């Protein structure tokens, strides 16, 4: 219709001119005395057609000039829009979205440690990597033409700020009136149905170290089942642009405390490359964590959240380093920890693209404690100390064996006095070291732990994870035969996302605990969960 209207307008003037000329000819024929008659009579039909064609060409040229000017205006408008977006990104103006917050596969709402992202996958829309985690490096945003000192300071600070996109891409947030700050409430409601074929100390998750070894431990018990929603989560995320970079404050928790009370998970602040507060240890690699239905997670995984002060210097696009001072909190048998020095973690990761991720982390600790001696006060008890170390190698890589989205994840952990960092040992407690009651000497547990996992995608909304993990302890000679020696854990699941805001999954788990004496016990568990993300 628009094209037809344009065509009619282009012919309107020539037609009117033709009608006027015909009128002149008619007037001249009916009124010979008219002054215009000789001119009209002198013009033949060929001259009239030539005049009309000339007018048509002039109109076509005018239309071309108008179209060119319209194209220039459109290009200028697009350029102004792009420059406005770049300036907003440098100023830290939050883009208000109505979409729900994005969740990671392990349910951390992109709050766990995320390594630097390489080139985006074809499905990603953004050309720059998104920062949603403490200490993450992203590519620098375009430079700004800011004129004021404040805007220049903000742009300069954010040029090397790993949190520069925390405001420009903040889905589900709303801006606080009169400020550039934005705030978001998020989380999920998670309901788990757990059936234990064999007895476990805690029935709503799979702690391999709690599997009974002797039949006498289970004679008065039977298989159990439970339904719980205490794994649901609530989070509060605040972000603001300052003259020295983006300020972020984050708090979240679940309801796994005593009697389903609120239990703090993360509470940290981040400003530029410095983070302070409680979150995942820098010794943890959440980028190599398998997706599981079980709330407890793998036995051999490094898995601890604690208070820390962390610095994440920029090395390059593909490399990230972290230096962290963390709460020591040693866990000892036959004694109490009294460590003076913080744990020190130095980590580095390499991620050239989304198909490959490699990470190594070193841990140094001072384990210092007082022996529990009946009838002796803490002031009278002697203090023993030992130096602990830990090494963790982890990663993930895509494999085209079945599907381009499939990937393999792994982790290998070794060290003395690192029991509190290993998931299974941390759950049952007191496996950093032990006091020899006869000599008073402090001995550290030597630990070797790890896992391997394959994730296969059946389609874009359904995947399965096949995982195996282990923990091995080299016990001191004076420990009795009932001491923890080894645990094995295997699991297989299928997880389906009918929509972006709903997860549902089914998982089978098998585990074995073996004591120093060689005795062992097995257990099986079946879990189902559904999660609604908000």
- pLDDT (tens, 9 = 90+) of the chain, 534 residues, equals 444 444 444 444 444 454 554 445 444 444 444 444 444 445 577 788 888 888 888 888 888 888 888 878 878 877 787 776 666 555 544 333 333 334 455 555 443 333 333 333 333 332 222 233 444 333 333 333 333 433 444 344 444 455 555 555 688 888 888 888 899 999 999 999 999 998 888 888 999 999 999 755 555 556 789 999 999 999 999 999 888 788 999 999 999 998 999 999 999 999 989 999 999 999 999 999 999 999 999 999 999 999 999 999 888 889 999 999 999 999 999 999 998 899 999 999 999 998 999 999 999 999 999 998 776 666 556 789 999 999 999 999 998 777 889 999 999 999 999 999 999 999 999 999 999 998 999 999 999 999 999 999 999 999 999 999 999 999 999 999 999 999 999 999 999 999 999 999 999 999 999 999 999 999 999 999 999 999
Q: Is residue 99 part of a domain?
A: no
Q: Is residue 42 part of a domain?
A: yes
Placement of tokens 């742009």 in the chain: 155
Instruction: Work out the angle between the directed axes of helices 149-158 and 45-91 (0-180°, nearest 10).
Output: 70
Both 368 and 504 in a single domain? yes
Both 82 and 189 in a single domain? no
Phi, psi of 503 (to 5 degrees): -120, 145
Both 379 and 487 in a single domain? yes
Q: Which 3 state secondary structure label does DSSP give 196? A: strand
Number of domains the chain contains: 2
Phi, psi of 309 (to 5 degrees): -125, 120
**Assigned token pair, 370:** 């007082």
Final residue in a domain of this structure, among 35, 66, 87: 87
Instruction: Work out the angle between the directed axes of helices 45-91 and 2-30 (0-180°, nearest 10).
Output: 150
Both 207 and 75 in a single domain? no
Both 81 and 191 in a single domain? no
Q: Is residue 250 part of a domain?
A: yes
Q: Which residues contact 175 (CB under 8 A, 6 or more apart)?
A: 94, 96, 181, 182
Q: Is residue 286 part of a domain?
A: yes
Both 83 and 192 in a single domain? no
Both 82 and 204 in a single domain? no
Length of the chain: 534
Both 423 and 275 in a single domain? yes
Domain of 427, in residue numbers: 185-533
CATH code of the domain covering residue 500: 2.40.160.10
In what side-by-side order are the strands of the sheet with 332-333? 332-333, 433-435, 442-444
Q: Which 3 state secondary structure label does DSSP give 295? A: coil
Q: Is residue 73 part of a domain?
A: yes
Q: Is residue 147 part of a domain?
A: no
Q: Is residue 168 part of a domain?
A: no
Final residue in a domain of this structure, among 87, 112, 127: 87
What does each C-alpha distance from 31 to 43, 187, 271, 359 come to in angstroms? 17, 92, 93, 101
Q: Is residue 145 part of a domain?
A: no
Secondary structure letter of residue 170 according to DSSP: -
What does each C-alpha distance from 461 to 88, 248, 456 come to in angstroms? 35, 32, 11
Q: Are 224 and 176 spatial neighbours (Cβ–Cβ below 8 Å)?
A: no
Final residue in a domain of this structure, among 87, 111, 128: 87
Both 210 and 347 in a single domain? yes
């Amino acid at each position: 219709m628009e094209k037809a209207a344009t065509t009619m307008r282009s012919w309107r003037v020539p037609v009117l001119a033709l009608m006027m000329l015909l009128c002149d000819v008619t007037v001249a024929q009916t009124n010979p005395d008219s002054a215009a008659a000789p001119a009209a009579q002198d013009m033949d039909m060929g001259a009239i057609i030539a005049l009309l064609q000339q007018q048509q060409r002039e109109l076509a040229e005018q239309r071309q000039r108008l179209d060119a000017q319209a194209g220039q205006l459109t290009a200028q408008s697009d350029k102004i829009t792009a420059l406005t977006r770049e300036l907003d990104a440098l100023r830290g103006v939050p883009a208000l979205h109505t979409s729900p917050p994005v969740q990671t596969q392990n349910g951390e709402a992109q709050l766990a440690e995320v390594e630097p992202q390489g080139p985006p996958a074809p499905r990603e829309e953004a050309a720059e990597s998104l920062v949603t985690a403490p200490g993450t490096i992203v590519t620098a945003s375009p430079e700004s033409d800011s004129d004021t000192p404040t805007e220049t300071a903000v742009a300069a600070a954010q040029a090397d700020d790993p949190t520069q996109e925390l405001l420009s891409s903040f889905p589900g947030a709303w801006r606080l009136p009169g400020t550039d700050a934005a705030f978001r409430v998020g989380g999920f409601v998670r309901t788990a149905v757990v059936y234990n074929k064999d007895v476990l100390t805690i029935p709503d998750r799979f702690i391999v170290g709690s599997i009974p070894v002797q039949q006498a431990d289970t004679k008065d018990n039977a298989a159990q089942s439970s339904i719980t929603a205490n794994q649901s989560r609530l989070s509060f995320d605040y972000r603001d642009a300052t003259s020295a970079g983006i300020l972020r404050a984050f708090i979240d928790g679940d309801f796994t405390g005593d009697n389903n009370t609120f239990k703090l998970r993360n509470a940290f602040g981040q400003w530029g490359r410095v983070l302070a507060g409680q979150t995942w240890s820098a010794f943890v690699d959440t980028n190599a964590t398998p997706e599981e239905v079980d709330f407890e997670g793998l036995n051999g995984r490094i898995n601890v959240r604690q208070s820390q002060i962390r610095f994440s210097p920029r090395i390059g696009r593909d490399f990230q380093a972290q230096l962290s001072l963390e709460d020591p909190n040693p866990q000892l048998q036959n004694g109490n920890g009294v460590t003076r020095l913080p744990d020190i973690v130095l980590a580095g990761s390499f991620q050239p693209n989304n198909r490959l991720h490699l990470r190594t982390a070193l841990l140094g600790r001072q384990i210092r404690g007082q022996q529990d001696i009946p009838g002796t006060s803490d002031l009278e008890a002697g203090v023993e100390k030992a130096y602990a170390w830990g090494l963790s190698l982890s990663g993930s890589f895509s494999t085209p064996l079945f599907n381009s989205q499939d990937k393999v994840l792994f982790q290998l952990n070794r060290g003395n006095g690192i029991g509190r960092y290993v998931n299974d040992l941390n759950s049952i407690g007191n496996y950093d070291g032990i006091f020899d009651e006869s000599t008073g000497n402090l001995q550290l547990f030597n630990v070797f732990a790890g896992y391997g996992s394959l994730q296969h995608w059946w389609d874009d909304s359904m995947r399965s994870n096949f995982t195996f993990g282990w923990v091995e302890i080299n016990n001191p000679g004076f420990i009795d035969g009932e001491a923890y020696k080894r645990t094995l854990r295997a699991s297989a699941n299928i997880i389906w996302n009918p929509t972006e805001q709903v997860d549902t999954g089914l998982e089978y788990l098998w585990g074995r605990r073996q004591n120093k004496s060689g005795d062992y016990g097995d257990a099986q568990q079946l879990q189902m969960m559904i999660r609604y993300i908000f």
